[in-house]
Chain A
């Protein structure tokens, strides 16, 4: 082009939240397409969009001029671009200062601050819509004040946006600029990259102003002219003021600063005295080896570590290893469990230093996968800490490096389908119910458009223009940044002040601050960060270790857990893995019997194989066939055999996918890495397509079949975000093994630790407790006399391992820890039987185990209304300690019931649920004397522990007063009578006894769920079974025994609903009945048909065909053909009117359920960044 050149340097991106209406990369690509000389992005008081813009510009081979739009509180607005690193640091410091002094999200910069930080900047003052004398004065004053600081004289920014008087306005600005000695600069009039974004810009304005587009008035854009224009057009509009256009080139020339100049400097205090980083690291490595292998390091490992040290020296990464080591050392010294994850597990050095815990001889290390000289990419070590004690580590980092040098990375919160449609709907004035309906419709729409989802819900976007616009605009809005939030734990630590590297802003949490860039930005700039992550399973493992040790077991640590235990692998092969790290999900449980893990490396594969990457690439079945010897491993070529041999010719790990690109398609390593990045971080549909063609062509050149090439590429696509590097899988496999080992050998401790670490994992407490019971652990209920806050273990010869699980007060819904601890602390003051050991008369209900006698299925059926007088209740206060034990001993228990407990006696039940009117036992009044004694104890408790009525009611709701001789209803009755504690001594109140109707078994079960989210009594389906039998419905035992292809109608309580992104709209249900769990598969067309039942049912009846695969334990699915919502049966169990008890069945849902806890279209896809979505 012969034109003298032009660049828009003051564009707003959508990181000026709710104002800019284009992504940085859209602006960059548009500018490149228009042939501009450069592009400059200036977001308001922010650097947040600069890295995105920079990366896009590098790809588009366009010069990128980073800058910011500094807004003063008095309304003055300046465009500022740094000319060099020092000026950049000053600008960053200025913005950081303004941000730190203002509340989160705001920025307060004074004019004095501004002037002080302007050395080396190029600046332009932005004029108001109607430039007046005040502006002229400000321009003149600022031009004079800044003359000797700025690299170029202050400019007067000007734009032409087809206002009525733009010609005159330009002339006026030129006059003002001339008078002030500030040349005019064409900049700053761009809010979006293309005119069709005007609609979205108006919607953003409406969202920002919390109004509708109809009420926007003059806040709407009058026209669509705030977009990037070709140079010729700009020159035409600036006719007579061409100097302003030429000036853009002067600025672009002067501002040679590039984001690449932000080289990172490591902190210094990690070094040993008078040693260089490399020397310090070598010394530490030598110490670590002596400690680890006191009998001499194995030569292979020694050689490996030496090799790694050489490479680290060459690349200068020693300070990074020391930084991480320092943090790990601190954690170890405080007894905080930690484990490195990610590619660091490829390093023997990291193992020796205690950063990772997978022994180097467990799998092949390939240090080059961790750090490579060619790739010139910083190593990435993520360290998981116990999630409850991570805060200690974070505080240590702050203490050690100071808050001015350590900060957490940000996370960009973006609009997702649900939030986008909700906000756009509001902005377009759609009614609340339509918007809510649309937002709901976004769950499970897969790759369908919003308009299609809306049509499914009976809304008609084709006819309703507003609705159609809302759908279109919401799709445009998806992916826009909404605000910055704090990353879970990515720390950036610098040598100098952090504020000169990036804009530091306040975080929502008191005393925290974050930099404005998220982890992708940091990675793109090759700034090193340490991920200090919290992992619930580590907390659980530490608690389990502590419990084992406290009850006479060995003292264990992660590396000292006995390795290669065959029983543990056998248990995993049976898919008996509820609660085990990573492999407890439905998909993993189905995989375990097929994969049949026998050694550690099998677990590594198990972790990696159930991932969208391998599934999308259709790699799972070939691998299984080859593993089971049904098919001989074949390799597409000798070259790829080296890459794929370990996994029998099937690529499963991320590294392998990249290696195929390099070896198979002939990509240079950095090109392969670009490919990975293109998938993972800056996803552009266009670029991915380009890679695909290049990849397939490359494979074809090297003689591979097109079909194989396509398959590999689609797998790489899946891997981009969800693939597992082998080393990462190895780190996780280590935790899989450890948690499985604890579950196998210490089931009670495992269950207690899991319950105490909630919320975590895949399942809700109800399923964890049930699983413990199925492993013959006796579970004892919450009891004010016995329970601590946490779940504890109590000696019990009849329980597995000699220890029974006592549920803790933490299971009581809504009870605060502080209240519970007061209760426990004051126990000697009120407990009527603090001293005597009541183990013998303990109420320990046990659910009938799965293979129990059939009469358990309908325990109350045929018994008729059974009246059980409670002898203990009438026996007076001295028998209060253990009335129920005495009861059950006296009651005739069905022979099949183990453990001497008869729920029927306890509950005085009627026929199941509501099918028969509850019969009132005649002898109710005999309860009264005993209850009066219990009431006294309850009142003493309330006074001593200072419990208010709400806390007492919660405890009563959890049926925790049985120890005091009060059943749930009696306790609630007494709790409502307790008055707020006063200084006066309690006056004894003698009141006539009330006659309280007995709770039915159904009510007991429902109230158990409401009070503790689980029941130790009857499963709700056991109570409903007579009714279900009458309807001819099956149970999970029948399903387990059914032939393949058999047809069944199966009722079940809904535990989990998932719609994996890789499963093309199929929804997987896990349901439960009194015998076990079952997996339902609902195909996409049926999901559409039975959508209401899929989304809202708590109890479903699924009708379908049995799909059965024989393995060590058969894998059985029910392919659903009809799905009915029968939740009304549950409500028939008991009528609830307390507001907190409205939805007890919701509590039965597992944590992994995606309908109640959805975050976006694709379930896991939307959850957390790369590989962190694993739970």
Chain B
């Protein structure tokens, strides 16, 4: 290749080829670019005398946080994830990271989140450098960080933030989740746990079927009297108590989701019943009536 005349090569394959050739032979310099770009928002402190105490670390963090937050504010961004890197004198590097549900640049909030986690650092002979880096940032509309006047006016405006901050704090220690509706005919599957900050969309048609607001975690076994094969119950009995059914609607027959359920799961016939005394219950019979006339009845929920 190198012995070929250059002009015909360039004519046919363009300048890119000759450039690449030159780069390969070193005729043409090619700067290297690092694989992972350095974080855009970072601050660091170096210590002549390694620090060992928690107080010193806290104090340093209290200086680093406002620096990073100020930078973030200038850029109109908020951090979702901050990491504190602690460089020990023996070359060991420890990292403590905190995350938030919503992007934030509130130094005090971050300080609180860090506080609970800094215990994990083991300084040994001391840290000679602490660095704070924003690992993930998102754009945040400019907002006044706080009202100058006083707390009374600001409290209201801060409410959503306050909830987010509360959730952030809680989720440092506990699993925090919320319920989201899910499109499924099967009652237990009609809601799902999602992350505290996950967006929730209402699937089309969700809520059309009349269901109790809350289902019993464990359905209660019942005895019932009902017409065969699929008539609604006329009398319900649980341990010693019994209720006469005044009104009933059903059956609503639901089959298990065959693609994920055990193959031996039985279908259910659900009835909405109103018993003497006014309680409205959601009861079901699980599976067909057996040869000996018995069948399983369950109380699955109560209409409020």
Interface residues in chain A, defined as those with a beta carbon under 8 Å from any beta carbon in chain B: 130, 162-165, 167-168, 198-199, 202, 213-214, 216-218, 220-225, 428, 466, 469, 973, 976-977, 989, 991-995
Contacts and interface: CB of A to CB of B under 8 A. Distances in A.
Interface of B: 3-5, 7-9, 11-13, 182-185, 203-206, 208-210, 249-255, 257-260, 267, 269-270, 272
Given A217-B182, A223-B254, A994-B9, 12 more contacts: A162-B251, A168-B249, A214-B260, A218-B185, A218-B204, A218-B205, A223-B253, A973-B8, A973-B12, A977-B12, A991-B8, A995-B3
Among A198, A214, A217, A469, the most chain B Cβ lie within 10 Å of the Cβ of: A217
B203 A218 contact: yes
A223 B267 contact: yes
Contact of B8 (A163, A198, A992): A992
A217 B5 contact: no
Given A164-B270, A991-B7, A992-B8, A428 B259 contact: yes
Contacts of B203: 217-218
Nearest to A225: B253
A403 B205 CA distance: 46
Nearest to B253: A162
A994 B2 CA distance: 11
Nearest to B209: A164
A167 B259 contact: no
Nearest to A219: B183
Nearest to B262: A465
A986 B249 CA distance: 89
B249 A167 contact: yes
Contacts of B185: 218, 220, 222
Contacts of B257: 220
Contacts of A167: 249
Contact of B210 (A164, A202, A973): A164
Given A164-B210, A218-B183, A218-B205, A991 B249 contact: no
B272 A164 contact: yes
Contacts of B206: 218
A164 B255 CA distance: 13
Say whether chain B's binding surface is mostly helix, strand, loop, or mixed.
loop
A198 B255 contact: yes
Nearest to B256: A223
A992 B253 contact: no
Contact of B259 (A162, A202, A225): A202
A994 to B, nearest CB: 5
Nearest to A466: B259
Nearest to A163: B252
30 contacts: A130-B208, A162-B251, A162-B252, A162-B253, A164-B210, A164-B249, A164-B251, A165-B252, A198-B255, A198-B258, A199-B259, A202-B258, A214-B260, A217-B183, A217-B184, A217-B203, A217-B205, A218-B184, A218-B203, A218-B204, A221-B255, A222-B253, A222-B255, A223-B253, A469-B258, A973-B12, A977-B8, A977-B11, A992-B7, A995-B3
B10 to A, nearest CB: 10
Contacts of A213: 259
Contacts of B12: 973, 976-977
Contacts of A466: 259
Contacts of A221: 255
B267 A993 contact: no
A543 B258 CA distance: 61
Contacts of A216: 183
A164 B252 contact: yes
B272 A223 contact: no
Among B253, B257, B272, the most chain A Cβ lie within 10 Å of the Cβ of: B253
5 closest A-B pairs by CB: A217-B183, A164-B252, A162-B253, A992-B5, A222-B185
A224 B255 contact: yes
A973 B185 CA distance: 67
Contact of A991 (B5, B205, B208): B5
Nearest to B183: A217
Nearest to B211: A164
A469 B259 contact: yes
A994 B4 contact: yes
Contacts of A989: 11
A989 B254 CA distance: 81
A993 B5 contact: yes
Given A164-B250, A164-B270, A222-B185, A991 B255 contact: no
Contacts of B254: 222-223
B104 to A, nearest CB: 34
A546 to B, nearest CB: 43
B253 A214 contact: no
A189 to B, nearest CB: 13
A199 B258 contact: yes
B245 to A, nearest CB: 15
B124 to A, nearest CB: 47
A994 B249 contact: no
Contacts of A198: 255, 258
A168 B5 CA distance: 90
Contacts of B255: 198, 221-224
Contacts of B252: 162-165
A977 to B, nearest CB: 5
Nearest to A989: B11
B5 A994 contact: yes
A168 B248 CA distance: 11
A973 B13 CA distance: 10
B157 to A, nearest CB: 38
Among B203, B249, B255, B259, the most chain A Cβ lie within 10 Å of the Cβ of: B259
Nearest to A990: B7
A991 B7 CA distance: 7
Contacts of B272: 164
Nearest to A212: B259
A221 B253 CA distance: 11
Contacts of A199: 258-259
